[in-house]
Amino acid sequence: VYTYITLRDHRARTWDSLRFVFLFPADIISTVEFNYSGELLATGDKGGRVVIFQHEQESKNRPHLRGEYNVYSTFQSHEPEFDYLKSLEIEEKINKIRWLPQQNAAHFLLSTNDKTIKLWKISERDKRAEGYNLKDEDGRLRDPFRITSLRVPVLMPMDLMVEASPRRIFANAHTYHINSISVNSDHETYLSADDLRINLWHLEITDRSFNIVDIKPANMEELTEVITAAECHPLQCNVFVYSSSKGTIRLCDTRAAALCDRQAKFFEEPEDPSSRSFFSEIISSISDVKFSHSGRYMMTRDYLSVKVWDLNMENRPVETYQVHEYLRSKLCSLYENDCIFDKFECCWNGSDSAIMTGSYNNFFRMFDRNTRRDITLEASRESSKPRATLKPRKVSTGGKRKKDEISVDSLDFNKKILHTAWHPKDNVIAVAATNNLYIFQDKIN
Amino acid sequence: MFPKGTKRKFSDSGEEPVSSGDQVPAAPSVATRSLTSSYSLQRQSLLDMSLIKLQLCHMLVEPNLCRSVLIANTVRQIQEEMTQDGTWQIMTQALAAAQCPTDRLVATEVLCRQTDAAAQAGQSPKPFSVGGLEEGYHAEEVVMEGDVETEVTMSTLAPVSPQLSSASYLAGPFVMGPCWDEDEEEEEEEEEEEDGECEEDEEDDSEDCVSEGEEADRDHLSPDSRTGEQVFGTFEIKHPAPPPDPALEELFSDVDPSYYDLDTVLTGMQSAPKMGPYDLLESLSSHGPTALSSSSSCRSDLNELDHIMEIIVGS
């Protein structure tokens, strides 16, 4: 992805700040997801709300500017609950949102907190029936004896109203915390994964689901590995993958057995013995796994790197990108302040030629798979005036810090970008920085 | 700068022995490992830090299972390495020799949570079973009654031998229990660091609890036990007494000889190694030799308890 200006390349692109939205200070954005067309962008937050942005039509006068994203719909998806049996609070935080492919005028999405998945229908209403016989326009009932003639109600245009209604609630299927949901390519089923189990649901059926993976040991004391993420293959509806806290990925085929405890493929990179430390396992824990749009590759994010795997090769990734290698010498401190457990997500661009992931200090990183170029950008108010070009950032690791560089010790570890999303077709990205959502686009020079 | 308010600066200034270089060196050979005192200091502090984290994770409303597992694996890894070094035995023996009265050793159930179905109010400590050791440790009883402020009562026995006392919980397969287990509330547990889980919550009825054993455990594990004590201090179990629910009391008013037992079972607290009804359901199939001496009697009560739970929960 062409993210910095080079005078040599006449087709160089720069990343613009298109728009940013300031959400309530109390709410931290917990998930970001474009729909299949890219027209809608959904965000979930810690307060259980879902906010959907819509891409405005580009204006004909200024075709070089993409349209803006504006708030389309806001609704409360999940409420805090209390599990009386265990005396535990169930957070309303939205862990994941996944859109369904659009089949009619309405939009559907799945949103989940730790325990319950909900299917929401978002529909527009821009017409209203007027001219009822039995009631006035303001709703008051008319006296039937006063009615002297009948009329047929007429549909009149009204201000656009976007309604969100819960259509299905998939509950009580997860003992542990749900970390992933993924819609299958058959558009009829989806999977949900918690720390130890993966369930397969039918979108129409809420009272039961199939358990397809169960790694809970008979004796919980023997538990050493948990499921960290899962995803359905984008094209083959019988294939899915799940990643673990030990840095492994298992690809499973649902045709093989009802319970996919034995993987069809097992992806693991051998450990480099020279860099082994007490933190090796923790930093190898995979926080996100994403198939490429083509279905040929998958990408995994661990603490320090992003790896691209060819599904045909299990013994090592085909590409490895270092996100913030300068943190390797700081692992002990990061373990102490728990940052080492941060779960970063990653995403592909529409053509699978670039990948993006977040880091600390509101930095996020993009890697061009073809040119092997990478860039670090910052999502911050200061550097993101509308239409301003983003400046590449650099972290200095050596002793000598150049101008405009920031030293590792000055990084703000409270400002972490865990959630990013890339438009499925265009070079538009959404970056969640705590409670701010940034939307950037590229500008063709 | 750091989310959890860590005081330490994020620089490898190397002033404290702990942070003498944030780098944990790549694993040297066994011989060189034991020779490098800074390495073993770092390793020790890492162990302490990990154990504190595991303890603290019990305080959370819902411990993050992935995090707990990763920390537990780290501790296990350190323990294995120290066992290979021979430093593990040395340490445990030194601690055993220097230890405080043995009755502070714990291999017990510390009840830090009630799974009180009727409790809308706040979090209470989670039942936590550390039991099941062959050495015959007594279960620790935490008595919590409606309006009574109670203390942790430790009815621990002296272990069979001072040697065993420390070695038994430190050596052997390292087991981290209910820290991540939501539905299985009783675990075989040899590591007392999980005892006395405290739960801090922001709600009004917060209960703090920790066992004195916890402090002792910290002592046992590390000559420098100040961290542990600073973390846990000396807490008492206080039951802030939510106004008694008349309906609930009436319900149990005539259930007497086992009033206490029923109450404790319903509220998730155990005397002797009994488990709550739902824990029992979960772990019946999965546990092998547990400390459940009264499991059979529990089972028969299950249906009755189920019924009562339904009434309470109003389902």
DSSP per-residue letters across A122-179: EEEEEEEEE--SSB-TTSPBPPGGG-------EEEEEEEEEEEEEEEEE-S--SS-EE
Q: B195-205: per-residue pLDDT in tens? A: 433 333 333 33
* Residue A67: pLDDT band with limits 50, 70, 90: low
Using the 8-state DSSP alphabet, how is residue B52 labeled? H
Q: Can you give the pLDDT at residue A7?
A: 23
pLDDT at A12 over 90: no
Q: Using DSSP, state whether A300 is helix, strand or coil.
A: strand
What part of A 156-175 touches B (C-beta under 8 Å)? Answer: 175
pLDDT at site A6:
20
Residues of B in contact with A220 (CB under 8 A): 177-178, 180-181, 184, 187, 286
Between A286 and B215, the more confident residue is: A286
Note the pLDDT of residue B313. 64
The more confident residue out of A392 and B225 is A392
pLDDT of residue A140: 87
Inter-residue contact B105 to B159 (CB < 8 Å): yes
pLDDT at B97: 79
- pLDDT at res. A13: 43
Average pLDDT for B276-288 = 38
- Looking at CA atoms only, how far is residue A225 from chain B in angstroms? 7
Determine, for residues A333 and B187 on separate chains, whether the beta-carbon distance falls below 8 Å.
no
Query: What tens digit of pLDDT does each residue of B138-165 get?
Result: 333 333 333 333 333 333 333 333 333 3
Distance separating alpha carbons of residues B287 and B185, to the nearest angstrom: 11
Average pLDDT over residues B88-100: 74
3-state secondary structure A214-250: ECCCCCHHHCCCCEEEEEECCCCCCEEEEEECCCCEE
Chain A interface, best mutation among B73, B129, B199, by max A CB count within 10 A: B73
Mean pLDDT across B47-66? 80
Are residues B208 and B198 in contact, defined by beta-carbon separation less than 8 angstroms?
Answer: yes
Q: What value does the mean pLDDT take over residues B243-271?
A: 47
CB-based contact, A81 to chain B, within 8 Å: no
Highest mean pLDDT out of A67-71, A296-300, B215-219, B286-290: A296-300
Residue A153, pLDDT > 80, answer: yes
Percent of chain A with pLDDT strictly greater than 70: 90
pLDDT class of B68 with cuts at 50, 70, 90? very high
Q: Which comes out higher in pLDDT, residue A204 or A89?
A: A204
Over residues A176-181, the mean pLDDT reads 97
Q: At what angle do helices B277-284 and B295-313 cross, to 10 degrees?
A: 130
Confidence of residue A47 (pLDDT cuts 50, 70, 90): very high
- Which of B6, B11, B13, B22 is the best substitution to test chain A (most A C-beta atoms within 10 A)? B22
User: Out of A85, A330, A338, whose CB is closest to B278?
Assistant: A85
B226 class by beta-carbon count within 10 Å (0-12 exposed, 13-18 middle, 19+ buried): exposed
Query: Which residue, A148, A27, A149, A32, is CA-closest to A432?
Result: A32
Q: What is the spatial distance between Cα B287 and Cα A356, in angstroms, rounded to a whole number? A: 45
**Does residue A18 register a pLDDT over 70?**
no
* Structural contact between residues B228 and B214, judged by C-beta atoms closer than 8 angstroms: yes
Residues A313-338 pLDDT 10s: 999 999 999 999 999 999 999 999 99
CB–CB of B113 and A220 under 8 A?
no
Tell whether the model's pLDDT for residue B115 goes beyond 70: no
3-state secondary structure of B57: helix
Q: Which residues of B touch A28 (CB under 8 A)?
A: none
What pLDDT band is residue A389 in, cutting at 50, 70 and 90?
confident
Which is higher by pLDDT, A169 or A4? A169
pLDDT bin (cut points 50, 70, 90) of residue A16 is low
- pLDDT at residue A42, as a whole number: 96
Residue B312 is predicted with a pLDDT of: 65
pTM: 0.67
Nearest to A225 among B19, B24, B69 (CB): B69
Predicted confidence (pLDDT) per residue in B9-55, tens digit: 444 433 334 444 444 544 445 555 555 788 888 899 999 999 998 88
Q: Provide the pLDDT confidence category of residue A146 given band limits of 50, 70 and 90.
A: confident
Mean pLDDT of B85-106: 65
Residue A96 has pLDDT above 90, yes or no: yes
- The interaxial angle of helices B212-221 and B87-98, nearest 10 deg, is 130
Residue A103 has pLDDT above 90, yes or no: yes
Residues A278-292 have a mean pLDDT of 97
Q: Which residues contact A100 (CB under 8 A, 6 or more apart)?
A: A107, A108, A109, A110, A119, A183, A187, A203
Q: Which residue has the higher pLDDT, B217 or A114?
A: A114
* Confidence class for position A24, pLDDT limits 50, 70, 90: very low
- Cβ–Cβ < 8 Å for A93, A31: no
Partner residue facing B286 (CB), from A114, A218, A277: A218
- The stretch A199-203 carries a mean pLDDT of 97
Measured between alpha carbons, how far apart are the two ends of chain A, in Å?
Answer: 14
Q: Considering only CB atoms, which chain A residues are within 8 Å of B65?
A: 176-177, 195-196, 226
pLDDT of residue A444 exceeding 80, the answer is no
Of the pLDDT bands very low, low, confident and very high (cuts 50, 70, 90), residue B124 is very low
Mean pLDDT, chain A, whole residue set: 89
| Better-predicted residue by pLDDT, A313 or A83 | A313
| B93/chain A closest Cα distance in angstroms | 25
Between A254-263, A426-435, B186-195, the lowest mean confidence (pLDDT) is in B186-195
What residue of A is the nearest CA neighbor of B80?
A278
Q: What is the pLDDT of residue A253?
A: 95
Across A261-265, A355-359, B200-204, B305-309, the highest mean pLDDT is recorded for A355-359
- DSSP string covering B88-133, please? HHHHHHHHHHH---GGG---S-EEE----TT--S---PEEEB----
pLDDT confidence of A207, banded at 50, 70, 90?
very high
Closest CA to A357 of A280, A296, A422: A422
φ, ψ (nearest 5 deg) of residue B9: -75, 155
**Looking at residue B137, what is its pLDDT?**
33
